[in-house]
Amino acid sequence: MRAPNLTPACLAAVLAVAFAPAAHAAGSRLHITEGGTPDHPRVYAGGGKEVSGIDVDADWVVVDGYTLTKPSAPGVELRGSHVTLQNTTITAPHGGDGDGIRFFGDDIAILHNTVRQTSNRNGHADCMQTFASDTPPSNHVRIEGNRCEQIDNMCVMAEGPNDGEGDGKGHTTDFVIKDNFCETRKASQALMFEDVQRATITGNTFAAGPDHAIGLAIHSTGAHVEGNHVDPSIRCEVGIDKSSREGYTGPEPRCAP
């Protein structure tokens, strides 16, 4: 996976820091439809600016450093290839399913963000979610160094196109879930993968709450689990079904997904 390279030279390229027309009004939802190139990804630098939500529908985009307080859910929606979301804080998204971040596409990086206080009041409020039902499947995804705090549902919910609810088009593969903090309050698991192949889950901290930390189901094969920190109250680190056993490496699964 190749995430956009935020070198000092890239950040200094002010001409790459642009706002879509809908973003000019203070506090409005930021709609990003203009992307960049492999050598010059389009950088949208918030500097802590408060917006009411972010939608990305473009390729080669970096979204960096925004603040979202009580945005309409999902707080951030990413659609495209080579899209990075980083250093952004999302608090108490509302409406819809109450998700913090949704993502669809290839080569997506979600890095060093904080999502807190998602509520199941209107649905199943995940910190981050992807699915493939009339939406593009997601491949080559890196979720690293994020904090999911006071999350009613799951920290990551990923569903491929062949999970029984998807559109059956393509595949969802190659996820790296690394060094995240995950606090889920009401779901049975913190991370759930259905029809997602080759997920690597390492160095994460799973706080108290769920029955098990990781669920692998519906041909979520090739998963690698290693070096996670699991609160003693969580009785089972990995739950897995028979269809997902192929290629699995990690702690012995001790429960169903």
**75-117 pLDDT, tens per residue?**
999 999 999 999 999 999 999 999 999 999 999 999 999 999 9
DSSP character at residue 8 = H
C-alpha to C-alpha distance for 218 and 21, rounded to whole angstroms: 42
Higher pLDDT, 164 or 113: 113
Q: What CA–CA distances, in Å, run from 227 to 51, 111, 214, 235? A: 36, 19, 13, 16
- Quick check: 251 pLDDT over 80? yes
pLDDT band for 4, please (50, 70, 90 cuts).
low
Phi/psi of residue 209, nearest 5 degrees: 145, -70
Taking residues 59-71, what's their average pLDDT?
Answer: 98
Alpha helices in the chain (DSSP H): 8-12
Q: What CA–CA distances, in Å, run from 96 to 56, 113, 150, 167? A: 18, 21, 18, 21
CA dihedral 123→129→130→135, nearest 10 degrees, is: 50
- Quick check: 149 pLDDT over 70? yes
C-alpha to C-alpha distance for 238 and 177, rounded to whole angstroms: 14
pLDDT band for 123, please (50, 70, 90 cuts).
confident
Residue pair 39/30 in contact by the 8 Å Cβ criterion: no
Count other Cβ atoms within 10 Å, centred on residue 217: 21
Residue pair 124/131 in contact by the 8 Å Cβ criterion: no
C-alpha to C-alpha distance for 100 and 155, rounded to whole angstroms: 9
Tell me the domains of the chain and their CATH numbers: 8-244 (2.160.20)
Residue pair 66/86 in contact by the 8 Å Cβ criterion: no
- Quick check: 176 pLDDT over 80? yes
Q: What is the CA radius of gyration of the chain?
A: 17
CA dihedral 104→108→109→115, nearest 10 degrees, is: 0
Residue pair 149/174 in contact by the 8 Å Cβ criterion: no
Taking residues 199-204, what's their average pLDDT?
Answer: 98
Residue pair 126/103 in contact by the 8 Å Cβ criterion: no
For residue 199, the surrounding DSSP H or E stretch is strand 197-202
Q: Which two tokens stand for residue 140?
A: 């080559």
List residues bridging with 54 in a β-sheet: 30, 76
Residue pair 148/125 in contact by the 8 Å Cβ criterion: no
Taking residues 42-47, what's their average pLDDT?
Answer: 98
Average pLDDT of the residues of the chain: 91
